[in-house]
Chains A and B, each alone.
Chain A
Amino acid sequence: MQEAKKKTSLKAKVQKLGTSLSSMVMPNIAAIIAWGLITAIFMEQGWFPNAHIAKLITPMLTYLLPLLIGYVGGRMVYEERGAVVGAIATMGVVVGAKVPMFLGAMIMGPLGGWCIKKFDQLFQDKIRSGFEMIYNNFSSGILGMLLAILGTYVVNPLVVAGSNFMSKGVDFIISIHMLPLANIFIEPAKVLFLNNAIGNGILVPLGIQQASTAGKSVLFLLESNPGPGLGILLAFMFFGKGSAKGSAPGAAIIHFFGGIHEIYFPYILMKPALILAAIAGGVSGTFTFQLLGAGLKAAASPGSIIAILLMTPKGSYLAVLSGVFVAAVVSFLVASIILKHDKSTGDDLAEKQAEMEAMKAESKGKEMPSSQAAQDSVDSYADVKKIIFACDAGMGSSAMGASLLRDKVKKAGIKDISVTNTAVNRLKDEQGLLVVTQEELAERALQRTPSAMHVSVDNFLSSPKYDEIVANLKALSQIQDKPQATENTVKTAEAGDLGNVDFAKVEEVNFIRHDQHIGTVTMATSLFSDSMKKANKQTPVKAVRINELEDSDKHLVIVTAAAKKNLAVRYTDIQTVVVDDLLTDKKLQDVVAKLK
């Protein structure tokens, strides 16, 4: 596993980072749209200015969106607890920052989740029962507080510095009159949600200066040009895959006409190479603007094609539209090449991983619920990061199973794998998950979590599958261990005891119910007849009272040493086997083997 980790290319790492950044944003697109619409419609320069409603704009951008991102980021790492700590920690970077702290939230959210996860791993099993609530609330509360403080002092200034750096870059390029190159800074900055910082922070003030003398300024167009984003979304429409392809058309409309550029950022984060397409589109768009002398009267905000046209002075329409068009075409072409190239080269690691995972899920689907699949090879356990027991209500069975397996995992010295339980309906699909269920629920669990690995058991308390799971996990952590290897030799050694029993004569096996041990005998009888059935033996097995037997060597009575004394008082001809333990004595298997 370690080797595989080393081999993971830088590209795959960037890709993974991009994916996790985008999965922090994706669930919050609705909030971004809500904010975008409010901004577009009700802001001062909007279509229906309304000062009362416009009060929503700033707090939503400054607080709501970063907090949501931090919340989701924390949840990615550690469920609900991680989410709450992530949100608290995000507050630390949000407060006092001049720029909207999307980037800071993307750092603090997962960091918060990670911290509380590590903290729980250290302390969770040390909590005394009855104190869980106090522990849970105070640990995440205190940790959240510390992280929020850390955020204000450390992360906040870092993000502000980064955003200042981007701004300086743009500033510098404008000062040396190489305007198109400004997009080299602008596009990456946009994707990291610094678009408002750059747009409103630098370009708009400079643009206003220019416009006040020249009547229009091209600076208003640098960041608000929807062309590059449109090109990328169109490329996804034609050459994308899966959900990205499906959602791209809607995103394109919201982006181009609604002017909410934020919506295409996750698509780039999914495939970071696409930033090249955005840059190419931005640079060529700006170049076209300059060439044709395009400009806007004032800032077009949001960057919708409609807002842009409203701000376009008479006579500049063609120039502005050409710039947007060129930007869209260039970024579409570059993005298409990137997306298509990505498809053709199958040796791309991330691609392969995705493929493998899909294949795995498929093969699992076929073999369920035999659970053989899980045993296939040690390899399939390589991805397992956590084990969840699922049952119907999450109240009993799964909790029992989880505590047993947790115990076994712990005793085997396996760390960093958590074992928890839940109701099958609350299962969430994710990578690195091993789901254990009762056979009846296996199908439902598979539907809920197609990308997880599945094992189903019929006996929660003594399933051999637990040992398989632990053995497989252990094999991965390279601890060599060969349990149960010596069992056979032990068996043969003890077999000698049975020498004085004439098995040929035995027609019935009996266990004796006597006053103090009725339960044990019931269970022993059941276990023994199970073993007989499995071994295909015909001799009947019965539990009887001590006075119910016929004194004949047709009966083989299995007893403990103490009970044999009582038996000897009553009977003389009955054959006996004396065992230390009616349920688990190894001698019992030898008796089964010798019977008819």
Chain B
Amino acid sequence: MTESIDTSLTDRLRAFVGLSAAANSARDPVNEPMIRHWCDVIEEGNPVYTDPSVAARSVFGGIVAPPAMMDVWDKPGVRMTRNPDNPQGAVITLLDGAGFTSTVAVNSELEIGRYLRPGDVVHSTLALEDVSDEKQTGLGVGHFVTSRLTYLVGDAPVGSVLFRVLKFAPGTGRAPAAGEAAMTRDPSPAKRPRPAINRDNQYFWDGARVHELRIQRCAGCGELSFPPTPRCWSCGSFEMGYVVASGKGTLYSFAVPHYPQVDGFDYPVLVALVELEEGTRLVSNVVGARREDLRVGMPLELCWLDSHPALVDGAGDSRGPIALPQFRPARQPRRESTLEVADLADGHALPLCPIPITATLVVGGALMTRDYFDSHHDRDMAVRRGSKDIFMNIHTTLGLTERYVADWAGPEAIWRSLRVRLGAPNYPYDTMTMSGSVASVDRARGVVTVAFRGANSLGDHVSGTAQLVLPGGSSYPDRPNPSGEERR
């Protein structure tokens, strides 16, 4: 590939930089059904997007569209065709022809001029801002293509997005360094030590197989016991039953083994002593968090690891399947009343929030954002393009990020910008854990900048900043504000 590159390709690409053209026009106005579908997929609970009466009483004065949907409305969806008159379409065509056939989004910098409302008809213009030199990236050899889309309703701009994609040649990624490749221990969970099941503890492991976390409970007096006992120490009964735990708990203590290392674990291992809300404790693992996230007392919620698969067609374990309870940082409830700027300080931490990545979320998110690029819904095509599975599209990531920050800031925080950089892909069956902190606060104007990241098992999927206006500063509008225009 490197040898076949002639420098004139870069020159030909660069010829389009600085050109602009009309991009897309929405066929339908901003509408509540699409907003509701989006909120369903993203699990966005802010009522100003869906509940007319709440929205009417809010600072927005009526239903508004989630700001992260800004660049969804004008997308052509499944009918997308590349427009060769558009400078971006032209360079993409050139790059495809030169073998750089794979595409990933790497940056999105969304600026919100005003919130969109049902009835707005959006169209966009595109300016090609930059095409990079050929670069060797982890994914492969390619070029970064940077465009700015400006969104308009009628003649009035309502927002813009700076959008950067990497067009790369599949199969040209950087080989892992020698150390990375030489894994001495196999971390597959099936290699973990199996629990031994006997008549005293069978209720627990039977429950685990159906993803029920069972706590032994005396049928006589209701006393809970862990580890189990054949006889209730409280009332003396031998009639021992169980209750299914809610799955809510806190981190009572933890240990982080580094050595010795054995198969089945990814070191260092986060081992938790979890205190369940029912009162008993158990040892488990913390997943979807990093070592530095662990704090005694942090809220946790149950999830499951099907560690030892059943024997099927000669593969698996003849002793039967095993599932292990695991815990991740508990998603905190959405804030009902919006934060005041006076409540904030630099460095103020946002709560951790784990987001399970399911195929449903990946596919649903892509389709909800009118993104029919095959690698977001078709695993065969994704694999053919050099990916291990389908992966989340950037618009879903933006929606999840908006939800995370707004769940913390409150329903009437007003968004100004959402700038993200994408890294490791979000593949199904992983968990992305969001974390964040207040990077800066402008108290007079009420403007807060939040730095956030979403990490999965491969590293940082997303990092970036969000800027919002909070009540208590001069930039926050008087309510209600049917125009939606914030005061600058």
Q: Do A and B bind each other?
A: no
Q: Which residues of chain A have a CB within 8 Å of any CB of chain B?
A: none
Q: Which residues of chain B have a CB within 8 Å of any CB of chain A?
A: none
